[in-house]
Amino acid sequence: MDLQFAEKKVKDLHNLLNQYNYEYHVLDQPSVPDAEYDRLMRDLIELEEQFPELKTEDSPTQRVGGEILDMFEKVEHQSQMLSLGNAFNEQDLRDFDRRVRQGAGENVTYVCELKIDGLAVSLRYEDGLFILGATRGDGSIGENITANLKTIRSIPLRLKENVTMEVRGEAFMPRRSFEKLNKAKEENGEEPFANPRNAAAGSLRQLDPRLAAKRNMDIFVYGIANVGDTGIVSHSEGLNYLDSLGFKTNKERKRCKSIEEVIDYVEGWTDKRPNLSYDIDGIVIKVDSMESQEQLGTTAKSPRWAIAYKFPAEEVVTTLRDIELSV
Ligand SMILES: CC(C)(C)c1nc(N2CCN(c3ncccn3)CC2)c2cc(C(N)=O)c(N)nc2n1
C-alpha cells in the first residue's frame, strides 16, 4: 500500500472510530457491535505501525498513552474557575431569586442542572484538538492531568468543528465502576474508597495513565469558559452548542420560568437520586440569559447569577452494633 492510500485509509478510520466512540460513550446508542469497533482499531494500529508518520496525537489509538509521570505540572486557568454559593432550603432559594430579580429585572429564566458529585476540570481545545486538561485546583492554578483525562472516552479528542475554546465539566465515577473498583480493592486487601467522588479524584491523580484508563470514569461538561467570544446569548444555548460539538452534557437540565418551577424541580430530584447511575449532591441553578449574568456579575469567589442547592446529607443510620464496634 503506498503512503497516499494509507493516508486516506487512516483518515477514514479516524472518522469511523470517532463516530462510533461518540455513539457509544456520549449518546449511549452504539450503531455497531464492539467487535467491529475493535477490528477497525486494530487496522488503525497496524497502519500506524507500518507508517509511523501517520500516527497523530489526536488518533483514537492515543487515548491511553504517554509515559508514567513523576508529578503533575501546574497550569494557570485562562479564566478563574469560580466557586458556587450554597442554598440549603426553600427560603434560601427565594432569597436568591429576589436578589436576581432586583439586579437583572423581573423577567428571569433559570436553568436547573443536576450537581454531579465528582471533581471540576477544565478542557482546552485549539482548532478543535484537545490539548490541555486540568484540575480546578484553587480556581486559578490547577494540575495538568491531560493524559488521564484523555482516557475518559466521553471526552472528544477532536471536536466536530475546529474551534478554539475552554470548557468546564465535572469528571466523575459512575456508581457501578465505583462498586467494581472497591470490590477489587477489598479482594487485594487494599483500603476501599469512601465514595465515588474520592475514587474519581484518586483515579485522576494516578501518575500512570494506564491505571487511570482502567477506572472507567466519565464526564458531564457544564459550561464554556470564554463564552463571550462565541456570540452565544444564553447558557442553555451554550449547552446545546457543546452538544453539537460532540461533548457529553447532562440531559436532565431544565429551563425554569420562575423560582416556583425551580423549587418543583429540586423537590422532584430529591427522591429520584437513587435512580441515577451516578452521585449528585445537589442542583445548580443558573440565570439563563448571558446579558443578565453580566448585569449581576460575580463576587471575588462566585457568580451572583448561580447558586448550588445542596441536598441534606444522608443521615447515616448507625446501629448499636456499629457503635459497640467503634468504641
Ligand atoms: C460555572 C459555574 C461557577 C456556574 C459552575 N460551577 C460549578 N462548580 C463550581 C464550584 N466547584 C468547586 N469544586 C471544588 C471546590 C470548590 N468549588 C465545582 C464546580 C458547577 C458544577 C456543576 C456540577 N458539579 O454538576 C455544574 N453543573 N455547574 C457548575 N457551574
CB 191 within 8 A of CB 214: no
Ligand 1 site, residue 239, Cβ cutoff 6 A: no
Residue 281 CB less than 6 A away from ligand 1:
no
Cell readout for 303 is 457568580
Residue nearest atom 11 of ligand 1, based on CA coordinates: 83
Phi and psi dihedrals of 233, rounded to 5? -105, -10
pTM of the model: 0.94
Query: β-pairing, 86-87 with 306-310?
Result: parallel
Ligand 1 touching residue 280 (CB < 6 A): no
Q: What pLDDT was estimated at residue 228? A: 82
Q: How many Cβ atoms from other residues are within 10 Å of residue 191's Cβ?
A: 8
- What is the pLDDT at residue 65? 80
Q: What is the pLDDT of residue 190?
A: 96
Q: Name the closest-CA residue to atom 19, ligand 1.
A: 120
The per-residue pLDDT for range 143-193, each reduced to its tens digit, is: 999 999 999 999 999 999 999 999 999 999 999 999 999 999 999 999 999
Calculate the dihedral angle through the C-alpha atoms of 237, 240, 246, 251, rounding to the nearest 10 degrees.
Answer: 140
Which of 241, 181, 248 lies closest to 211, judged by CA? Answer: 181
Q: Which residue has the higher pLDDT, 321 or 147?
A: 147
pLDDT of 319: 58
Looking at residue 229, its pLDDT comes to 83
Pocket lining: 225 vs ligand 1, CB cutoff 6 Å: no
Q: How far apart are CA 319 and CA 325, in angstroms?
A: 10
Contact status, residue 75 vs residue 133, Cβ threshold 8 Å? no
The one-letter amino acid at 45: I
Q: Is the pLDDT of residue 289 over 80?
A: yes
Å from CA of 276 to ligand 1 middle: 19
Pocket test of ligand 1: the residue of 77, 83, 309, 311 to mutate, having most ligand atoms within 8 Å of its CB, is 83
Instruction: Tell how far CA 159 is from the center of its chain.
Output: 15
Residue 63 C-alpha to ligand 1 middle, in angstroms? 26
Pocket lining: 221 vs ligand 1, CB cutoff 6 Å: no
Q: Please give the DSSP secondary-structure letter assigned to residue 193.
A: P
- Give the span between the Cα atoms of 50 and 287, in whole angstroms: 53
Structure-block grid coordinates of residue 28: 449511549
Grid cell of 160 as nine digits: 466536530
Site to probe by mutation for ligand 1, drawn from 79, 81, 83, 84 as the one with most ligand atoms within 8 Å of Cβ, is 84
Q: What is the mean pLDDT of residues 58-83?
A: 94
3-state helix, strand, coil in the chain (%, to 5): 40, 20, 35
- How far apart, in whole angstroms, are the C-alpha atoms of residue 143 and residue 186? 29
- CB-based contact 156:246 (threshold 8 Å): yes
Residue 241 Cβ < 6 Å to ligand 1: no
On the question of pLDDT at 4 being above 60, the answer is yes
Report which DSSP code applies to 275.
G
pLDDT band at 317 (very low <50, low <70, confident <90, very high): low
Long-range CB contacts (< 8 A, 24+ apart) of 314-319? none
